[in-house]
Amino acid sequence: MSLRDESDAATSTLKKIAADMSNIIESLDTRELNFEGEEVDSEVLNDPKGTVCIPFSAIYHTHGFKEPGTQTYLTGCPVRVRVLEVERFTSTKKVPSPNVYTIELTHGEFTWQVKRKFRHFQELHRELLRYKAFVRIPIPTRSHTVRRQSIKRGEPRQMPSLPHTAESTVREEHFSSRRKQLEDYLTKILKMPMYRNYHGTMEFIGVSQLSFIHDLGPKGIEGFIMKRSGGHRIPGLNCCGQGRMCYRWSKRWLVVKDSFLLYVKPDSGAIAFVLLVDKEFNIKIGQKETETKYGLQIDNLSRSLILKCNSYRHAQWWRQGIDEFIRKHGKDFLTDHRFGSYAAVQENTLAKWYVNAKWYFEDVANAMEAAKEEIFITDWWLSPEIFMKRPVVEGNRWRLDCILKRKAQQGVRIFVMLYKEVELALGINSEYSKRTLMHLHPNIKVMRHPDHVSSSVYLWAHHEKLVIVDQSVAFVGGIDLAYGRWDDDEHRLTDVGSVKRMAAVKSVSTTNLASAAESSECVPLQSQALSPESHLFQRNADDAPDISKMKGVGKPKKFSRFSIYKHLHKHGMHHADSVSSIDSESNKGSIRSLKTGVGELLGETRFWHGKDYCNFVFKDWVQLDKPFADFIDRYTTPRMPWHDISSVVHGKAARDVARHFIQRWNFTKIMKPKYRSLSYPFLLPKSQQSANELKYQVPEAVHATVQVIRSAADWSAGIKYHEESIHNAYVSVIENSKHYIYIENQFFISCADDKVVWNKIGDAIAQRILKAHRENKRFRVYVVIPLLPGFEGDISTGGGNALQAIMHFNYRTMCRGENSILGQLKTKVGDKWINYISFCGLRTYAELEGKLVTELIYVHSKLLIADDNTVIIGSANINDRSMLGKRDSEMAVIVQDTETVPSVMDGEEYSAGKFAQSLRLRCFRVVLGGSDLSPEHQDPVCDKFFKEVWISTAARNATIFDKVFRCLPSDQVNNLTQLRDFINKPKLANDDPVKAAEELKKIRGFLVQFPFRFLEEEYLLPSVGTKESMVPMEVWT
């Protein structure tokens, strides 16, 4: 026999002996084992020195209950014991221990109670004696060695004695001494680490690894129960439906927290289910209710969970313990809130708005950089390679995938949920986004949902755009972290990469960013730093760079308004708005970028790289797996600017946003078999009690009252009843507005006919205007929507079927047919509607390679402002898809100001909200030109502003654009025949560019009147036989 065989045989023999010894010890009569105070002969390990607090990230590192070395208790903090009361239960049967002791335990900030009988103390005592003897025996297994080593040499292990008197013989007058004896016994046990850390002791006092985590809130009741499988409300999740033969029972450790329950698998410590407290939360006991002897049924909107207890009294304790604890600490979650929202109104919440993605992306990047534990992201579309800070001056440091990889390497857990598109219909390639992110680091987990076939959800989408950092800062709005979204208030049409300085400035050496960015490594871009003193252009034109040596410039320009060279020579560098920061010490040089009055660029940089330079009405995205390759020619086609709104909230409101994400994540994990593995953990909501302990705060936020509202349903969030609190909030704010409503939205599909369209927003607007007319009061409604829907299609030939279908419903809401807003108004007030409501779009122009170009600005915002004191910002469009709750999933916040500033409304003094008014003024500044402090913008209701500024600017701009570019859509085109004639007529921009440039100087801002009569004689719904006509009508509404 070889040595190897011998050693194998010896090992297997040892294992057998070890197993036998374990069994013998488990069954020993403990009365024979009462030896005291001997030392364990082994190497000893010191207690880990740690902070008193257990970090929240511990929830991702749970261990099996019997594994040695798991941290359960707070370091260096005693467990205090008080036996509060004794209940004596009498029954017809002879019960050996009729007394039940209520024991209150305190550990740090946590206080909880357990109920135990004397026999439970006896069982614990016997078990600890067994354990003490077991530890003395050097069984050669790894886990046993670790267990022995974890007990310090010289550590006291003298077992305290338990009273011997039988329980039934103790008289009532002796109860207090009995209580004191048990109190002392338990106190002594819990002072000795060897016994305190034993799993039997932890079970006795009802603690686990999740008990003392500060951010999970106060400690509720915990213990072992048997739970029954099934009970999910979502079809397809229960084996064979609700059949009684089909379920199975499993032993689990149940943990009750202030806003949720969870249960854990004892062998692995893995969290196996999380049940959120909500308005349907309810507990029933009894055979009749639960179909189980000693059963306990816990219901919420997502599941009906059935548990089995040891006795009816045991079930009563559980019900009472859970019920009292939740009512005390989680009452906010038990009721429906305003507008039918799942979330309460949170006062004194820090909030901030964003107009356009430049500042939003920067704040999101900074918040992610500050993350300590978790980052949650959910988007309709996510592009991993977008740059969050532009112009790019630090290489790839602020590229989204690089930020996430960096944070994951630091130990932050990152959870991303993407909408899984129907690939035939959309080209957003979420599969590529998922693959790219998952390859970065194991701490990044990505889910896609829905599975269209298994869930039979073909028509609806997850449309929220959320970024949540450590569950305490939540960004909510309309901006996906995706291509085409980054823009600033200038809404530039061109980005040809600007001027490359060759002869003129010899000291400058820069690296071409596009090629650097092709490398997916997160390496800072190296280039020589520019000295702050060096002037690229002197005041005299003689020092100007030689135009023939400039790359990427195209033809010399003919007219002064557009010539970036003359502009720059004239003003010199001192007059630039902003120069990107220069860090000459670090030699991480920066690429100079200059923002001039024309909105052109100077320096070796681009704002939009590769796929980010886009015009999706001209051409939809293709080849997203090649992020840095252009897909449209930026030298001939202008980009489509993107106008959008977002917000950030902190504290309790951020916790509410996180709760929605957690609900969706946990639901998707249960729903899709591939996510059931432990590598996709269940997420736990942090407690509202610690919500205001902000470790990071977005700068410039103001205090306001905030409520989180959403559209959610069974398919999207796994809830029994759908929620349409965004729809309810919109209608309520419109009905209760006093002075004005300002709306920016990507769609405007409303005015219910209860056949095709159901949401009531358009009707609420019409009714509110009619009320103002009856009361003879001034009231204004401003609506800003995109001039064309965002679908690929050549509008010069009438656009595609999808584009026309959306146009049909937009026009049906605004001005066509008796259900439309203008239709309802004209029947009551005739032409006076013009004093109340204005519909506009946004458009801009530029010079591209010596040629004048124009393009609409795509309004993607989902914004409502009322009366300078109430704002709704979110992801929900004004259409049935977003508003009805049963369709697309959405998220928004309603912000009501508490801090006010003096202002004017309808010519009278008015206290305007800080948040709402500053947002309205910024929106007005962007669309009308001027500044945030333009005095003419202060009063949004007076005739002077409404007629002489708003209406007049929109009409003048529209007329000039029409004259210079013959833009579409246009009121001059009522049918497709006129369309062909219209586009064949000559344009001033081509025939006389100098005169055209003179005309364009008169344009202010971007605002243009919406053309009501465009294609009004055509039937715009998809014609029979087209693939669009086979799609249900709800897809468009």
Taking 80 as the threshold, does the pLDDT of residue 904 lie above it?
yes
CA–CA separation, 680 vs 674, rounded Å? 9
CA–CA separation, 668 vs 160, rounded Å? 50
In this prediction, residue 35 has a pLDDT band, given cuts at 50, 70 and 90, of very low
Residue 141, pLDDT score = 63
Residue 2, pLDDT score = 52
Contact indicator for 300, 313 with CB cutoff of 8 Å: no
Rounded mean pLDDT of the chain? 82
701: closest CA among 187, 973, 351? 351
Query: Which sign does the torsion angle of CA 491, 496, 502, 507 carry?
Result: positive
Contact indicator for 672, 516 with CB cutoff of 8 Å: no
**Strand-pair partners of 510:** none
- E-assigned strand segments in 59-209: 79-88, 99-107, 110-117
892: closest CA among 673, 713, 729? 729
Q: Phi/psi of residue 847, each to 5°?
A: -115, 130
In this prediction, residue 46 has a pLDDT band, given cuts at 50, 70 and 90, of very low
Q: What average pLDDT does range 460-481 have in this prediction?
A: 96
Q: What is the CA radius of gyration of the chain?
A: 34
Instruction: Flag the least confident range among 66-70, 585-589, 905-909, 969-973.
Output: 585-589
Please list, in sequence order, all residues whose beta carbon lies within 8 angstroms of the beta carbon of residue 450, skipping any fewer than 6 positions away. 420, 457, 460, 462, 715, 716
Taking 90 as the threshold, does the pLDDT of residue 580 lie above it?
no
609: closest CA among 385, 401, 427? 385
Q: Phi/psi of residue 67, each to 5°?
A: -75, 130
Please list, in sequence order, all residues whose beta carbon lies within 8 angstroms of the beta carbon of residue 890, skipping any fewer than 6 positions away. 463, 464, 710, 711, 712, 726, 874, 875, 876, 882
The catalytic residue positions are 463, 465, 470, 860, 862, 867
pLDDT tens digits, 180-223: 889 999 999 999 888 898 999 999 999 999 999 999 999 999 99
Name residue 757's amino acid: V
pLDDT tens digits, 639-689: 999 999 999 999 999 999 999 999 999 999 998 888 888 889 999 999 999
* Residue linked to tokens 């993407």: 418
Residue 421, pLDDT score = 81
In this structure, the number of other CB atoms found within 10 A of the CB of residue 1028 comes to 17
> Percentages helix, strand, coil for the chain, rounded to the nearest 5?
35, 20, 45
pLDDT tens digits, 534-553: 333 333 333 333 333 333 33
Name residue 654's amino acid: A
Q: What average pLDDT does range 564-591 have in this prediction?
A: 35
* Tokens of residue 1006, six digits: 């971007």
**To the nearest whole percent, how much of the chain has pLDDT over 70?**
78
pLDDT tens digits, 990-1028: 889 999 999 999 999 999 999 998 988 888 887 887 777
Taking 70 as the threshold, does the pLDDT of residue 558 lie above it?
no
Contact indicator for 600, 631 with CB cutoff of 8 Å: no
pLDDT tens digits, 132-169: 887 777 766 656 666 555 555 555 567 787 877 666 55
pLDDT tens digits, 175-191: 778 888 899 999 999 99
Taking 60 as the threshold, does the pLDDT of residue 18 lie above it?
no
Q: What average pLDDT does range 901-908 have in this prediction?
A: 95
Residue 1027, pLDDT score = 73
In this prediction, residue 395 has a pLDDT band, given cuts at 50, 70 and 90, of confident
457 or 312, higher pLDDT: 312
397: closest CA among 368, 410, 388, 584? 388
Q: Taking the CA of residue 833 as centre, how many other CA atoms within 13 Å lie in the half-sphere pointing to its CB?
A: 19
Between strands 837-848 and 780-784, the pairing is parallel
Task: Measure the CA angle with vertex 783, ends 782 and 788; round to 5°.
Answer: 150
* Tokens of residue 933, six digits: 């402090």
In a 10 Å sphere around its CB, with 0-12 CB exposed, 13-18 middle and 19+ buried, how is residue 431 labelled? middle
Element (H, E) at 317: helix 312-329
838 or 544, higher pLDDT: 838
pLDDT tens digits, 103-142: 999 999 999 999 998 889 999 999 998 888 877 777 666 5
Q: Is the peptide bond before 391 cis (omega within 30 degrees of 0)?
A: yes
CA–CA separation, 563 vs 429, rounded Å? 40
Range with top average pLDDT, 259-263, 585-589, 632-636, 989-993: 259-263
* Tokens of residue 855, six digits: 């393009």
Residue 90, pLDDT score = 59
Question: 3-class SS at 102?
Answer: strand
Between strands 851-856 and 900-905, the pairing is unpaired
Q: Phi/psi of residue 689, each to 5°?
A: -65, -25
Residue 459, pLDDT score = 83
Residue 173, pLDDT score = 63
pLDDT tens digits, 272-305: 999 999 999 999 988 888 888 889 999 999 999 9
CA–CA separation, 1037 vs 1024, rounded Å? 18
Q: Phi/psi of residue 1014, each to 5°?
A: -65, 125
pLDDT tens digits, 852-873: 999 999 999 999 999 999 999 9
Taking 50 as the threshold, does the pLDDT of residue 968 lie above it?
yes
Residue 934, pLDDT score = 78
CA–CA separation, 72 vs 771, rounded Å? 63
* Tokens of residue 630, six digits: 């252009």
Q: What average pLDDT does range 419-443 have in this prediction?
A: 86
